[in-house]
Structure 1
Amino acid sequence: MKPILGKAIRIAQITLLFFGTAALGILMGEQSFTQKQMLEHKKSLLLRENENLAEEIKSLERRVTLLRSDPRTIEKAAKRKLGMSSPGETIYIFEGDGLKKEETALGKADN
């Protein structure tokens, strides 16, 4: 009788080991699936950001090309960034509550 009981216990141990391993595999598979989904989402966000940055680079390259070669663009940038003006042009500068007028063509300033 003992050999049959020993075999039954051994089969039960193997069965429990199998089911335990299977359950562990299922749990790890679910975690891997969840992690894979998160990584795919992150990848899609990074690809979208990469596309946006590529568009921005193209735009900046066009602007640099214009700033190097187009006289109108150069003049606009000089006026906007450096406060420069063309001959005969009147510039009005607002300071606080008052108005300051500069006559750049004549080289004098009225306050």
Structure 2
Amino acid sequence: MKHNILYFGLVAALLLYLFFGNRGIIEYHNLLEIRNRYQQKVDNLTESIKSLERELMLIRQDEEYLEALIRRELNMKKPGEDLYILKDKNEDLHSNRDNKSN
């Protein structure tokens, strides 16, 4: 009888350690979630790098694309073109909030 209780206690302790110990199943699943989040970040950054590499290739090889990019970034126009600058509604909200705080 004493041996049965001892074995039961030992098995219960091992099971508790298996699930809740430093290297238990719960910790393993937590680490997997963290790993998956970092892998998602890596995947997103890899896509961002590919996109930037494609844009760099276009800038280096396509003069028309480079010209259009420069004109857009510097708000410039060609002769005979009309230039419209559209403000973002969020910019107006931020600038109003900044002005009120001064």
Higher radius of gyration, 1 or 2? 1
> Which secondary structure state, in structure 1, belongs to the residue aligned with residue 80 of structure 2?
coil
Seen in structure 2, the aligned counterparts of structure 1 residues 60 and 94 have a Cα distance that, compared at 3 Å, is closer
Shifted more, 65-74 versus 25-34: the winner is: 65-74
The Cα of 1:36 is off from its aligned counterpart by 0.6
Output aligned runs, 1:1-111, within 5 Å.
Answer: 12=2, 19-31=8-20, 32-92=24-84
Code of the aligned partner of 1:91: L
Q: Which one scores higher on RCO, CA 8 angstroms, separation ≥ 6?
A: 1
Q: TM-score, normalised to structure 2's length?
A: 0.63
Q: Identify the residue that residue 101 of structure 1 maps to in structure 2.
A: none
1:69-105 C-alpha deviation (Å, 9 max, x unpaired): 211211221121101212332334579xxxxxxxxxx
Write the distance in 1 (CA, Å) between the matches of 2:86 and 2:25.
62
Bigger helix fraction: 2
Q: TM-score, normalised to structure 1's length?
A: 0.59
1:9-34 C-alpha deviation (Å, 9 max, x unpaired): xxx5x876655444322111012111
> Which secondary structure state, in structure 2, belongs to the residue aligned with residue 84 of structure 1?
coil
Q: Identify the residue that residue 107 of structure 1 maps to in structure 2.
A: none
**C-alpha RMSD over aligned residues:** 2.7
Q: Give unmatched runs, 5+ long, in structure 1.
A: 1-11, 96-111
